[in-house]
Amino acid sequence: MFKIVRYSFQDLLRSRWSYVYFAFYLLLGFVMLFLNHDLAKGVITLMNVIIILVPLIATIFGVMYYYSSREFTALLLAQPIRRSRIFLGQYLGVAGSLSLSLVLGLGLPFVLYGLFRSPAIWDFVLLLVTGVFLNLIFTALAFLVALSNDNRIKGFGYAVLLWLFLAVVYDGIFLLSLILFEEYPLDSFALGATLLNPIDLSRTLILLKLDISALLGYTGAVFKAFFGTSLGMLVSLGVLGLWTAAPVAALVRKARHKDF
């Protein structure tokens, strides 16, 4: 399996896409810190980038990689290697290289601007951790979509739709339902709906660090237990873990039964 991970990884390095991705984050980090020297503010701006762009790039990258390496996959399938190993290997190669670009690309500028001497370091680390999680989740989802659709155009379409739904549309429906049912006690529902979307979940995780003073302004025992204690952080991280495991498991299952 590690051979396949290594191969996918090197393949991506050769294709220069990881470098582009890395350079993009590097530029983003430097420009942002150049425009305002405040690390704390940089972290907030970065959050917006991470919860929108990281899933998008992971989705597109994942689908693209799967389709372009289909012949090679077919070749591997002819070898005496277990299917789960092949697909897991490719998946980890892509997700790993994306995560590495993200961590290095954003990490370098912040370290150069004195991250280690700044109190924002834990916020930043949390941001990178959620970024890596989002990479893992959305690459897995992209592989899953691509695996289910042999038609490239369809596969691309579904994957981008999935991203659009989770990143923007979901929140719109969420907001509407909160306003429509405002007469009912909604705090459990609001927290539940947050947990069901990995992008919302990552946002909440970062809010716990950045906007805790606002979040505690809401009068509700459930909110208070969730946001006011370390429970919120633990539950969010745990569910993010589940969100990573579930599509990967589905991916392995799908790969095992697929007729190539």
Partner 1 sequence: MKPLTLLLFLLCLPGPARAQVLEVCASCPLPTVAAGLEQAAPYDTVWVRSGVYRESGLRIEKPLTLMGEAGAVIDGEHQGEIMQVASDSVSVLGLHLRNVGVSYTQDHAALRVIKSKYFRLENLKLEGLFFGIYLEKSSQGQVCNNQILGDAKEEFNSGNGIQLWYCQDVEVSGNTVHRVRDGIYLEFSDRIQIAGNISSGNVRYGLHFMFSNHDTYTNNLFEDNGAGVAVMFSKDIEMVGNTFRKNWGTASFGLLLKEINDARIAGNRFEENTVGISIEGSNRIEYLNNDFRANGWAIKVRGACYTNLFSGNNFMHNSFDVSYNSKVNDNRFEGNYWSAYSGYDLDRNGYGDVPHRPVKLFSYIVNRTPETLVLLRSPFMDLIDFSERVSPVFTPDNLLDPEPLIRPRP
SS3 26: helix
**CA-wise closest residue to 197 among 51, 99, 49:** 51
Which alpha helices (H) appear in 82-169, and where do they start and end? Answer: 83-112, 121-148, 152-164
251 binding partner 1? (CB under 8 A): no
Nearer to partner 1, 37 or 154 (CB): 37
- Which of 56, 60, 207, 246: binder of partner 1 (CB under 8 A)? 207
Q: Measured at the alpha carbon of residue 16, what is the angle toward residues 64 and 82, in degrees to the nearest 5?
A: 50
52 binding partner 1? (CB under 8 A): yes
10 binding partner 1? (CB under 8 A): no
Total residues at interface with partner 1 (CB under 8 A): 40
Burial 213-248 (b: 16+ CB within 10 A, else e): eebeeeeeebbeebbeeeebbebbeebbeebbeebb
103 binding partner 1? (CB under 8 A): no
209 binding partner 1? (CB under 8 A): no
Nearer to partner 1, 147 or 207 (CB): 207
Q: Which stretch binds partner 1 (CB under 8 A): 8-16, 106-114, 140-148, 189-197?
A: 189-197
**CA-wise closest residue to 17 among 69, 88, 87:** 69
**What is the contact surface with partner 1 in residues (CB under 8 A)?**
40-41, 44, 47-48, 51-52, 167-168, 171-172, 174-175, 178-179, 182, 186-187, 189-191, 194, 200, 203-204, 206-207, 210-220, 223-224
